[in-house]
Amino acid sequence: MSRALPPRATKRVFKLFDYSSMNIKLKPVITGSTEKLIILITILAFLISPAGPIKGQDLGNLKKKDQVKVTGSLNAGFNTYNASGGGSNMTPFQWTLGGNVNINLYGINLPFSVLVTSQNKNFNTPFSRFGVSPYYKWAKVHLGWRSLNFNPYTLGGQQMLGAGVELTPGKFNFGFMYGRLSHAVTDVSIFNNLNNTVPVYNRNGYAFKLGYGDEKANISFSFLNGNDKLNSANLQIKQQTNATAASNQAFGVHGQVKFLKHLTFKTDAGISIYTRDIEADSLQPSDAIRNNFLIKMGIAPHVNFSTRLSRALNSSLTYSDPKGFSIALQFLHVDPEYKSMGAFYMQTDVEQYTLAPSFRFWNNKAFFTGSFGVQKNNLFKQNTSSSMRTIGMANLMLNPSQNFGIGIQYSNYGISQQVLSQYQSPTPGTPNFYDSIRISQVSQSISISPHYNIINDRQSQVFSLHAALQNLKDNNDLNKGQGDYTSMNANFNHDWQFLNSNIGINQNLTYINTKTALNKIGAAGYTATISKVLTLESKQTDAKGNKKSTRVTLNATGNYFMNLLDGDVSGNSIGAGIGAEFQFARRHKINLNIGWLQNTDKLGGSLKRNEFITGFRYGYTF
């Protein structure tokens, strides 16, 4: 596959404006008869919708919808930038033109978009990825790029270019999907520029699910089969990365049952047979793998010396009552290197026990949630270190009145690690010794978030504060104190709205202070914004006889921040800006912005840098 790379975007953050360079989506070049057939069916069926979470079209309601509806927006604008007191990597003038059009056919969306900038005059590909899931009653069809969830340990959200079906008649449910899990990148320059994070082989697969039950009790079985295509890799990339073609068969079970009114048991389990190299030496695998019932059934055709069998289990037992009290006991176990070609990254080599209570009290004015557990790794004792973690958190929400509330959160995470390095004695016949290095760390954090509201017919005021303290303590005797740090941050916000005059004032105070074994660093700042909304009526009227009006929003912002190093001011920045937004004739909008920012670096000899930014935007919706 050969595709053009998007240029690296250059972004600069300023308090009043957001400038982003063009983001070009990569358009995959589809090859292969299967993919062409899928795309042809999808286009001929006029069932194109954006890829992402499954949003089906109900074919039973086609007659109730408008036949054709076109909506969208057009926009144009420019930015200017000027700096003194130092060089700049930003261009002094940039312009943009863009638009979005959505064509709705019988409730089915066909989106198009285009964006042209002075830095990159290219069009966005309207359908870099597309797919559809039309359904009628209990039958749903999937075409194109789809993301299905059969089981977190088999097919759990991985996008697939293909075709599938889901049937849910009564308490039965059945699902099937077949297609391409990933498309190999065969262009060497693209592969190198993407830091070798893209697939080397074409990966195809299929998955199915069969289940029965309802919300009170249900069970389902799922299976995934995925394989890399050997001749799909670029030879140079294959030699450069030593990548091997893999094969995977994963079997999963999901179950849930509610019993004794208040108890719910839920479990997800998976077994994965993953062959890292289907061309590896055909030496016999271990007895544990060779004697597994799935392999004996013949569902893994490439079992060899590189084959690994892994297990995963996530189960919970929860008690809950109508009064708002619940407590859950959870057990999680995932073998090292558990992999499924149909699932995204998951934490492996972990075993965890967690107890999580939650309850309401004080006439539902208070709510508490918490959890405590232990977590360990190195389950098969294959690594030179083993870690044991304690996991605990508590969250309390108090709302004694409609005007006042406060949240308090506390967490405590501890880790103890033992690293074993083998020492070989030079004396023959002497047993090996192990030198033990222990690591012990405790991380604690506490935060408090009160808020107070004043609301009446004339004004609305909201006072809110968020303050947090985080501490890491290194209890290792060899490095005691070297890894310690304490971080404190506080943010106070006051939002004041005058309802009759449409005037708003917002103030924000920020303070951050971090102490390490080497130094103290921090920052403090203040930001204020005032806005005013005006409505200007016109003598002209619209088609319904209503007077046309223009809505104008004016705003002004000022801010000051200073950087601190070991208690002294190391630098500061001050900024100001004004802006205006004009909304007229319902569909037209104009934005104007002017901003100034000055940065001073006292550590570099009190160097000052001034930046001036202006912006203009026009938008039209239809």
User: Which pLDDT does position 4 carry in this prediction?
Assistant: 41
Q: Is 369 helix (H, G, I), strand (E, B) or coil?
A: strand
Is 567 within a domain?
yes
> According to the model, what pLDDT value does residue 107 have?
64
Q: Which residues of the chain have pLDDT under 50?
A: 1-35, 38-55, 122-127, 420-437
Contact 384, 352 (CB under 8 A): no
What count of other Cβ atoms lies within 10 Å of the Cβ of residue 259?
10
pLDDT on residue 117: 84
Provide the whole-model pTM: 0.74
Give per-residue pLDDT as tens, 525-545.
999 999 999 988 877 776 666
On whether residue 63 sits in a domain, the answer given is no
Q: How many CB atoms lie within 10 A of CB 177?
A: 23
pLDDT score for 543: 67
Residue 443 counted as domain residue: yes
Residue 282 to residue 277: CA distance in whole angstroms? 10
499: in domain: yes
pLDDT for position 331: 97
Strand ranges inside 456-567, DSSP E: 459-474, 485-498, 503-516, 520-541, 547-565
Number of domains in the chain: 1
d(CA 17, CA 63): 45
Residue 54 is assigned to a structural domain of this protein: no
Question: CA 462 → CA 338, 402, 449, 453, 505, distances in Å?
Answer: 49, 12, 13, 5, 11
Run of H or E including 275 = strand 263-275
Q: Residue 170 region, left (φ>0) first, then alpha (ψ -120 to 50), else beta?
A: left
At residue 427, the pLDDT reads 42
Sign of the torsion angle spanned by Cα atoms 36, 37, 40, 41: negative
34 in a structural domain: no
Locus of tokens 């190999």: 184
Report if residue 284 sits inside a domain.
yes
Q: Residue 319 domain-assigned?
A: yes
Burial of 105 (0-12, 13-18, 19+ CB in 10 A): middle
Give the domain extent around 93: 72-104+185-621
Strands (E), 106-154: 108-117, 130-136, 139-149
Helix or strand run (H / E) with residue 373: strand 366-376
Tokens of 158: 């991985």
- Distant-in-sequence, close-in-space partners of 141: CB < 8 Å, separation ≥ 6: 133, 134, 135, 163, 164, 165
The answer to whether residues 531 and 497 touch, using CB atoms and an 8 Å cutoff, is no
